[in-house]
Amino acid sequence: MLYGRRRGKALRPGQRHLVDTRLPALSFSLPASGALDPRSLFPAPVERVWLELGFGGGEHLAAQAIAHPGIGMIGSEVYVNGVAKLLAEMERLSIANVRLFLDDARLLVAALAERCVARVFVLFPDPWPKERHKKRRLVAPALLDLLARAMEDGAELRLATDDMDYARAMLDHGLAHPAFRWCAAGPRDWRERPPDWPPTRYEQKALSAGRKPIFLRFERRAREESVRL
């Protein structure tokens, strides 16, 4: 079930032009049958595939694509205004290693082939703070089950939020799942964003409002190790 808005304020003419002309070649649909091999989405061979679920305005996705031109970057987002922002950045920086899925991220993860993704980002998803809405949260055991199948052994899952209740839930879900290991040796590992983790506008909004973001990193355990746990 998809929650949240798809559209905000009206797109500017330049944004609408990018959506109309550039998006069709960069977006994709899920196969009617069988699993999706994400490497097939890119015209040139890619070293590995990284996935961002809910990329917002796309600044993190664009920064990672520029820093890692050999990686195939897949972004999932339903908010068309955020998609338009990313398209403008891709046009400005001549980014070619990004493909986009414009529907519920869980549908995409469920369709992926096994062991095909090397890194996953879920950064500042909607916290749905009201108790009756918490079932709508993206980071939940059901999503971790899907990711555990789609991620390579040793792949990394990066989560971020400025909502402390959601942060505790993310940590609890990750620690409880046999496929994932928390990559933290001390408080700095979740209080400080790693250098290779570009900032987002949501992080800046949180800091401006006096909220401290939490950064969580999990590793996909080897299949043999997961079975033993």
Residues forming the active site: 126
The amino acid occupying position 60 is H
Which residues are CB-neighbours of 61 under 8 A, at least 6 positions away? 52, 55, 73, 75, 86, 98, 121
Beta-sheet strands, E only, within 125-193: 151-161, 180-182
**Which residue in this structure is represented by tokens 């290693």?**
97
Question: What tokens were used for 70?
Answer: 């050999």
- Give backbone dihedrals phi and psi of 182, rounded to 5 degrees, phi first: -75, 125
* CA 63/CA 197 separation, integer angstroms: 9
- Give backbone dihedrals phi and psi of 187, rounded to 5 degrees, phi first: -55, -35
Cα dihedral 208/206/67/49 (nearest 10): -170
* CA 115/CA 117 separation, integer angstroms: 6
